[in-house]
Structure 1
Amino acid sequence: MASPHVRSSGISVHVTITIDPANTSAFLAAFRRIYDIVAAEPECTYFEVFQSLEEPGVFRFVENWSKDVQWFKEVQLTKAYYTPYIEATEPMWIKPRSIKYFGRFSGEWLTVKPENN
């Protein structure tokens, strides 16, 4: 049974990609194009990119979506614009990509301060 604090709709998707740090510039150049397209999707409510301080080749993307996991897998992940990005970056991956799905807690558990930007 779901926690009463978790919203019934909307998910947070956490993607981890590990590359050789020597490929960081090429990876980010290829990723930038897809980032702009995905962030512009009306169902994408948040998109932030992180790089590990301990392992410079590890990147984490946190995306919040107004839809559920089934929609994300069946609709969003099947969009053709991902193909050139995957073709360009997958050869740089040194570990399999990880995608984890999380339910988002309601507004009482969300704080974003102006300094976060």
Structure 2
Amino acid sequence: MSDTAQNGFNIQASLFFAPENIHKVFAALKPVYEKTTAENDCLSFQVYQSLDDPGQILLVEDWKTSLDDYMAERLKTDYMREFFAIIEPLFVKTREVKVFSRLPQFHNMKM
């Protein structure tokens, strides 16, 4: 069994837009954020904006499900397809996605 199936994972997506389009991105992101954080397997979801480049957004999600389930189910939801249909034409650079296995011996979340 993989570490992600046992311990969950963290996924980080850097998205790149023209700064003048950020308001469109945030408007499209709001319902995705609300639906994602309501999902049982979502432990956290943070959104960051680069201080150096206001057109760069970082999405950081922590999940207690397997990466395979995430890829098979979440990315195919209507709300995620709608989100990508809105934001993909606004990309000025290809998105960068990184996935990390959670190491339970070093995992502590404070809210």
TM-score, scaled relative to structure 1: 0.83
How far apart in 2 are the matches of 1:45 and 1:111? 9
Instruction: Deviation per CA, 1:36-70: give whole Å up to 9, x if none.
Output: 11111111110000011111111001100011111
1:47 and 1:70 mapped to 2: Cα distance?
19
RMSD of aligned residue pairs (Cα, Å): 2.1
Is 1:97 the counterpart of 2:101? The answer is no
Preserved contact between residue 75 and residue 81 of structure 2 (Cα < 8 Å): no
Task: Choose the corresponding residue for 1:83, options 78, 81, 84.
Answer: 81
Structure 1 or 2: larger helix share? 2
Gaps of 5+ in 2: none
1:46 aligns with 2:36: no
| Partners of 2:7 and 2:104 within 8 A in 1 | no
Select the residue among 13, 16, 40 that pairs with 2:14. Answer: 16
C-alpha distance in 2 between matches for 1:83 and 1:93: 15
Cα distance, 1:98 vs structure 2: 1.9
Structure 1, gaps ≥5 residues long: none
- 1:36 aligns to what? 34
**Alpha-carbon separation, structure 2, partners of 1:77 and 1:107:** 29
Q: Do 1:18 and 1:57's aligned partners in 2 also have CA atoms closer than 8 Å? A: yes
Structure with the greater alpha carbon radius of gyration: 1
Contact in 1 for aligned 2:25/2:87 (Cα 8 Å)? yes
Q: For the structure 1 residues 9 and 21, does the alpha-carbon distance in structure 2 shift closer, same or farther, using more than 3 Å as the test?
A: same
CA contact (8 A) 1:7 1:104 kept: no
Identity of aligned residues (%): 25
Moved segments of 4+, more than 6 Å: none
Aligned residues, how many?
110
Q: TM-score, normalised by structure 2?
A: 0.87
Q: Distance in 1 between matches of 2:69 and 2:5?
A: 16
> 3-state DSSP class of the match of 2:93?
coil
